[in-house]
Structure 1
Amino acid sequence: MELILIFLVAFILYGAFKYFRQKRYLTTLTEDQFVEGYRKAQLIDVREPNEFEKGHILGARNIPLSQMKHRLVEIRKDKPVYLYCQSGARSARAANMLNRKGCEDLNHLKGGFRKWTGKVKTKK
């Protein structure tokens, strides 16, 4: 029982550490805040291509999280980066990768694409 408690406390502390570390380099934006700035930024959808084709924010580039390491050269460090995925988890992981590569102005959409109510483009 004592061992389980130690693991549980360690897990909670690790999660808190990651959360507060992430808040230093990633800004979570509401949809209104996202709309205000994404046209002047690099808008990147980190979902897989099949998800992207079903619908994405107008003007977004698709760089799936699964390809991010190999495609980091496509992202400029001197311009803001606006990321989104389906719910927010993958965009946070992508931001972590980008932060380690020197990107500083990192933002992602609160709630992800599933909460998006703005214009959407689909492939036919």
Structure 2
Amino acid sequence: MEDINVNELKERLEKKDQFLFLDVREEWEYEDDNLGAKNIPLGDLPHQLDELEQYKNEEIIIHCRSGARSGNAKKFLESKGFSKVRNVLGGIMAYRDL
């Protein structure tokens, strides 16, 4: 699936669209700037994959600080059979600039 920009993310969050929103930053980063996503740090993702199994065919939108870690998380999840994964381009840094 195509990635998503912060404007589209903001719009989707405001409309309360249905998707799994995942934050792959470390816990301390998440606490500083939380958009309401489920927090699973990138390094923990392989060990917590079972928590996401129910979303395998659902839309998952992933963000991090700049878009790099979430891009890696997207590739990882796609390699595990998740079919509708989108990365937030620019991450929380771009979101703050809205």
Partner of 1:34: 9
- Identity value in percent: 32
Taking only aligned residues, the RMSD between alpha carbons, in angstroms, comes to 1.6
Tell me the number of residue pairs that the alignment of Structure 1 and Structure 2 aligns.
92
SS in 2 for 1:82: strand
SS in 1 for 2:87: strand
Is structure 2 residue 53 aligned with structure 1 residue 78?
no
Q: Which has the higher helix share?
A: 1
Q: Which has the higher strand share?
A: 1
Distance, in Å, in 1 between the alignment partners of 2:2 and 2:42 is 18
| Aligned structure 1 segments of 4 or more residues deviating by more than 6 angstroms | none
Contact 2:21–2:60, Cα closer than 8 Å, also in 1: yes
Distance, in Å, in 2 between the alignment partners of 1:114 and 1:49 is 17
Give the partner amino acid of 2:6: E
Larger relative contact order, structure 1 or 2 (CA cutoff 8 Å, min sep 6): 2
Distance, in Å, in 2 between the alignment partners of 1:82 and 1:92 is 11
Partner of 2:24: 46
Larger Rg: 1
Q: TM-score, normalised by structure 1?
A: 0.68
In the alignment, structure 2 segments of 5+ residues that lack a partner are none
Matched ranges for 1:1-124 at <5 A: 26-37=1-12, 39-57=17-35, 59-75=36-52, 76-117=55-96
In the alignment, structure 1 segments of 5+ residues that lack a partner are 1-25, 119-124
Deviations 1:1-36 (A, max 9, x none): xxxxxxxxxxxxxxxxxxxxxxxxx52211122234
Contact 2:6–2:91, Cα closer than 8 Å, also in 1: no
Deviations 1:45-76 (A, max 9, x none): 0000010011121x211010010000111112
